[in-house]
Amino acid sequence: MLGIKHSQIATPDSARFSRIPGSPLAAIKVAGFSLVEVLVSIVVLSFGLLGMVGMQAATLQANREARLQSAATVLAREAAEMIRGNKNIGVLASSNPYVRTLSAGTATGTSSNCLAIAATTACADATEIANAQMTEWLARVDAELPGARVSICFDSAPFDSDGLPRWICNGAGGVLVVKIGWTKGSTNKSQSGSSALEQATIPTIVMPVTAGNTA
């Protein structure tokens, strides 16, 4: 044998340089490995961001529905206080100016603006006051709630046999009921377009109102 030791056998330059920190070949290998890690991290982060976006959209929708629910409750209470404040008119079984409906922006009953700031004449009597109150109130309901629907009526059975509120009023009983609904997002998230909206098919707010003692 030539007597050459194994440690004396020359190694290729690329192998020797790759083991030297900071050498070009070593840098190329490290950079390639880091790029794979970055790509994997980006993919994982993308899935996380998609989930966050979905949660954010659901949160915004829930906040919107909560705001509309709160606004509708306040409006129903306002109607109840108006009726109680004008109790002699509010208890009338017939020709009651507080008995109204609102659907698709169209309201029933007599309109009056005698309570408006720009009114030239004052309200003549309690009936005209009631008409003016309802004119202003229905306009605000239509402006604040999308696709607002209202029914104020005498109803001794505002809920059906399944316990769900209904728009139909039987005209019985001595208690006025304020029913309010509006267009809101469907809980069925598989729907899209117009099918993803509930067009006030049932009332969302049902508030019974007693006009008070007329004595």
Q: Parse the chain into domains and list their residue ranges.
A: 42-209
Q: What is the mean pLDDT of the chain?
A: 82
CA dist 128 and 130 (Å) reads 5
How does residue 163 score in pLDDT terms, banded at 50, 70 and 90?
Answer: very high
Residue 145 CB neighbours (<10 A): 24
Q: 106 phi and psi, to 5 degrees? A: -110, 125
How does residue 13 score in pLDDT terms, banded at 50, 70 and 90?
Answer: low
How does residue 192 score in pLDDT terms, banded at 50, 70 and 90?
Answer: low
> Scanning the structure block, which residue is given the tokens 């316990």?
163
CA of residue 72 relative to chain centroid, distance: 12
CA dist 159 and 138 (Å) reads 23
CA dist 117 and 78 (Å) reads 19
pLDDT value at 17 more than 50: no
CA dist 205 and 149 (Å) reads 11
Overall pTM surpassing 0.85 (yes/no): no
Side chain identity at 143, as an amino acid letter?
A
Give the 3-state secondary structure of residue 113.
coil
- State residue 1's pLDDT score: 45
Between the alpha carbon of residue 17 and those of residues 5, 10, 29, 31, 170, the distances in Å are 22, 13, 12, 16, 94
Report for 10-14, 31-35, 59-63, 83-87: range of highest mean pLDDT: 83-87
- The burial class, CB within 10 Å (0-12 / 13-18 / 19+), for 103 is middle
pLDDT value at 214 more than 50: no
Average of per-residue pLDDT across 86-98:
92
